[in-house]
Chains A and B, each alone.
Chain A
């Protein structure tokens, strides 16, 4: 039994490796581009309504790296609107003032006492968070160890995600001398509580705002403590996708949370997600031989102190490696690579690109699909009329693109019409097989058109042959002059072709010609279908069935007459109680049969039958026993 076990383990290992390979292919799908940033700033730059709004705006904007427009006015607003008796209001004021430059305030002793008193095991985690944040923002001394123990004690009672996130933020205000490892472990627990949506997004069920606050808090605490957060690379990308997928910021708190998450992910000591953005569509051609890329962080800030390298360029169709290990050159804001130098054939290529420069980079290896376009040229275009009997030599005319063939060609039932041509890449001279090579015949008078496909033979020469008598159903046997067009198209062609090659006169035998060509109108109502209801069974007339009912009941009459004749009587009927009960019970059972027929179902009947049957059985048993005794006496 060792072989199946080890084989299972091998398969499991292979499956895990495959999963890992797929997982490593995870790329960021969302980021804050310039428009998103503008929208975010617009929300954060609204005029303040209260201290809380001021806090969200000021701290949010500072996370994005933007200073508030009028710092003095903001400072004055906060000072006038702060409520010294509320810990929460003091927290908002303190944190906002810490960001503004030159904004100082003196704190009275009462306020300080209020804040210190709030840091205890009796306050909720939110209150402890606000108090510690306020004390730290005002620069007041704080007993970190006591605060830490109060926080830990409180956290063990409150299990909600938001409370844990606030605990992380609180710990980032405490001194590094204190042992914050128990709080740091909460990061790992919170990561486990995230929901994985399709392998692309990772977010809390409480929503994106909570997820963004978590990211900001986790990185702030990790930076403060100096240990890498327990979030894997793929998880960072998934978190990023979830947070930046929200493009509409209705409330200020939402905008604040996303701004803080963006700030955290673009500037922390451990994980820096980067995004590689091609300039326009990732396509190169002879006119545009350079592939241009930009490298940005989550806030679309350009990173130019990095090195971008092409690891491998593989053709999608032939899977051959065209280029390897080539660095991109920096030109202004863009990283460029001249791909046309290797003279690639037209088509799609998979580029594996890696970005280096900082150990913190995440998602720095991407796969990019690049299209190489070219122009097509048509050569060796030959139109010929071939006689079916091969008696007359075929008449061939050469036409040059884009001219039209002079004169018209006639084809009737004795002749075939043939067209052959070659398609080449104008720049490289190689033969091309585009996706669309159609020959279209358009009847000038009736407006009919028939489209055929021209197919290449083994030497990549396209041939099209039209046997008019064979194909007459497609033409509806309408004789006349048809314009011949050649249509060439492909995704990798820069110059799709629609070329009027020649005029062809096709004649069909007269007997097949339809009177007029009707255009099929497909969109008229169809004939209505009448539903056929199930016909009831044929029944005999009521007279017949009534007669037979009477007839079937007549033997009963005969029976009674016979019984009377034989002399059957009930003179021996004894009025003993068991006899009466038996007969009543039996009659009840018969009545139950009738009720069963009209009303009940089997289960109910069985229930009643069991009861009645039991009674009847007992009484009958007694009665028959007495009869037996009387008989043997």
Chain B
């Protein structure tokens, strides 16, 4: 019987994995690892990142870093000082986590290297979805913050 998953052509590898930038990054990392230093890896990564990423994505990455730090600091306060008032902590933390997730989704969707995956969704549409989802998230967050 013919296998239903049989394809006439081999499956296409996503650019995030098999694209030129990714291949270059992997070879650089492999070289650095072979050079035997974590710092070398980090420096190489940063330079590849700085050169290979679009400005828009870098702005978005900065935003994600901000959100991450905010969430981490809130969590650290809660661990150190105490959970009172718990609802406020939850509200703030969920706002951070939710915004981070939505930001990551937006970044994936507007990355030009992923265009093949998101045929029907233009960057503008992704941004509109991001705004809508954020509105709903923060409605709930404000409801809960007390």
Chain A interface residues (CB < 8 Å from chain B) = 537-540, 544-545, 548, 551-552, 555-556, 558-559, 562-563, 566-568, 586, 589, 593, 596-597, 602, 605, 609, 613, 620-621, 624-625, 627-628, 631
Contact = CB atoms under 8 A, between A and B. Distances in A.
Interface of B: 55, 58-59, 62-63, 65-67, 69-70, 73-74, 77, 81-82, 84-85, 122-125, 127-128, 131, 135, 138-139, 142-143, 145
Nearest to A541: B81
A567 B55 contact: yes
B122 A589 contact: no
A589 B135 contact: yes
Contact of B62 (A545, A566, A597, A602): A566
B81 A551 contact: no
Nearest to A537: B84
Contact of B69 (A540, A558, A567): A558
Nearest to A549: B77
Nearest to A627: B124
Given A625-B124, A628-B124, A552 B77 contact: yes
Contacts of A628: 122, 124
Contacts of A586: 131
Contacts of B84: 537-539
A602 B77 contact: no
A593 B139 contact: yes
Nearest to B138: A593
A475 B82 CA distance: 61
Interface centre among A548, A605, A628 (most CB of B within 10 A): A548
Contacts of A545: 81
B55 A566 contact: yes
Contacts of B138: 593
Contacts of A538: 82, 84
Given A545-B81, A613-B135, A627-B124, 10 more contacts: A537-B85, A540-B82, A552-B70, A552-B74, A555-B66, A555-B69, A559-B62, A593-B138, A596-B142, A624-B125
B63 A552 contact: no
Nearest to A612: B135
Given A559-B63, A567-B55, A620-B131, A551 B73 contact: yes
A613 B138 CA distance: 14
B55 to A, nearest CB: 6
B77 A563 contact: no
A338 B25 CA distance: 125
A605 B58 contact: no
B143 A548 contact: no
Nearest to A582: B131
The 9 closest A-B pairs by CB, nearest first: A624-B124, A559-B66, A562-B62, A555-B69, A568-B59, A555-B66, A540-B81, A548-B77, A537-B84
A628 B121 CA distance: 12
Nearest to B58: A566
Nearest to A553: B70
Given A545-B81, A568-B59, A556 B124 contact: no
A606 to B, nearest CB: 8
Contact of A563 (B62, B70, B74, B142): B62
Nearest to B125: A624
Contacts of A559: 62-63, 65-66
17 contacts: A537-B85, A544-B81, A552-B73, A555-B65, A559-B65, A559-B66, A562-B65, A566-B55, A593-B138, A593-B139, A596-B142, A597-B142, A609-B135, A624-B125, A624-B128, A627-B124, A628-B122
B139 A609 contact: yes
A561 B145 CA distance: 29
A631 B131 CA distance: 20
Given A540-B81, A552-B77, A563 B131 contact: no
B8 to A, nearest CB: 32
Nearest to B81: A540
A154 to B, nearest CB: 71
Contacts of A593: 138-139, 142
A558 B66 contact: yes
A627 B68 CA distance: 30
Contacts of B131: 586, 620
Contacts of A602: 143
A562 B66 CA distance: 10
Contacts of B123: 631
A621 B128 contact: yes
Nearest to B69: A555
A559 B65 CA distance: 8
B128 A620 contact: yes
A585 B20 CA distance: 42
A609 B143 CA distance: 14
Interface centre among A544, A566, A631 (most CB of B within 10 A): A566
A621 B122 CA distance: 13
B128 A555 contact: no
A584 B59 CA distance: 23
A548 B92 CA distance: 13
B139 A548 contact: no
A556 B96 CA distance: 13
B66 A605 contact: no
Contact of B59 (A537, A566, A605, A613): A566
Contacts of A624: 124-125, 127-128
B133 to A, nearest CB: 13
A621 B84 CA distance: 42
